[in-house]
Amino acid sequence: MIFMKEDIVIEEKEQNIKKKSFWKKLLLFFLFLCVLFYLYIRFIEPSMLVVHEYAIIDNHLPSSFHGMKIVHFSDILYGTTMNEKNLEKVVQNINNLNPDIVLFTGDSFNSNLILNDINKQNLKNILSKIKATYRKYAIIGDNDYIDKNAFMDIWESVDFIVLNNTYDVFYYKGPDPLVFIGTNSLLE
Each residue's pLDDT tens digit, 57-83: 888 888 889 889 999 999 888 877 788
- Least confident range from 31-40, 123-132, 147-156, 161-170: namely 31-40
Q: What is the pLDDT of residue 7?
A: 61
pLDDT above 70 coverage of the chain, percent: 90
One-letter identity of residue 93:
N
**What does the alpha-carbon distance between residue 87 and residue 98 come to, in Å, rounded to a whole number?**
17
Q: What is the pLDDT of residue 131?
A: 97
Does residue 126 carry a pLDDT above 90? Answer: yes
- Reference 129, options 74, 87, 161, 70; nearest CA is 87
- Reference 136, options 128, 146, 148, 147; nearest CA is 128
Which comes out higher in pLDDT, residue 165 or 48? 165
Q: What is the pLDDT of residue 9?
A: 62
